[in-house]
């Protein structure tokens, strides 16, 4: 079935460090890929998305590129801030109603 595997956390970083969270997927169709973020005490919200191979999604300094050849959608940010502390979820969709989520990666940024 369709699934997403993302790197386990937790990840702890210092402010201004580089962040990478790995995400790979398995899909029978041609999926769209998403990163959602969950800040403490809140629901998930869309961070960025990509709908076809080689697309790059970006938002709030975060980027991820849809790599069909490696079935990956890794999330990166060049310089993290304390406010980036959150849980990050990779997700995929192959139809118009269902998303499959990864297990989530907890990121803590220290000042």
Partner 1 sequence: NAGVTQTPKFRILKIGQSMTLQCTQDMNHNYMYWYRQDPGMGLKLIYYSVGAGITDKGEVPNGYNVSRSTTEDFPLRLELAAPSQTSVYFCASSFGGMRGANVLTFGAGSRLTVL
Residue 43 structure tokens: 């629901």
32 counts as binding partner 1 under rule CB under 8 A: yes
Residues numbered 79-98 forming contacts with partner 1, rule: CB under 8 A: 89, 93-98
42 counts as binding partner 1 under rule CB under 8 A: yes
10 counts as binding partner 1 under rule CB under 8 A: no
40 counts as binding partner 1 under rule CB under 8 A: no
- The residue within the footprint of partner 1, chosen from 31, 74, 77, 80 (CB under 8 A), is 31
Segment interacting with partner 1 (CB under 8 A) among 11-19, 36-44, 74-82: 36-44
79 closest CA partner among 66, 92, 60, 93 = 60
Residue 107 in contact with residue 38, Cβ under 8 Å? no
Residue 111 in contact with residue 15, Cβ under 8 Å? yes
**Neighbouring residues of 94: CB distance < 8 A, sequence distance ≥ 6:** 2, 27, 28, 29, 30, 31, 32
Could you list the residues that contact partner 1 (CB under 8 A)? 4, 31-32, 34, 36, 41-46, 49-51, 89, 93-99, 101-104
């Amino acid at each position: 079935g369709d699934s997403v595997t993302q790197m386990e956390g937790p990840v702890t970083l210092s402010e201004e460090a580089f962040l990478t969270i790995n995400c790979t997927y398995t899909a029978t169709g041609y999926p769209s890929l998403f990163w959602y973020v969950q800040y403490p005490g809140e629901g998930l919200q869309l961070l960025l998305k990509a709908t076809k191979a080689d697309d790059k999604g970006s938002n709030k300094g975060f980027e991820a590129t849809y790599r069909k050849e490696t079935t990956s959608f890794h999330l990166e940010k060049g310089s993290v801030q304390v406010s980036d502390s959150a849980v990050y979820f990779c997700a995929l969709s192959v139809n118009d109603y269902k998303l499959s989520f990864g297990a989530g990666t907890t990121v803590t940024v220290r000042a």
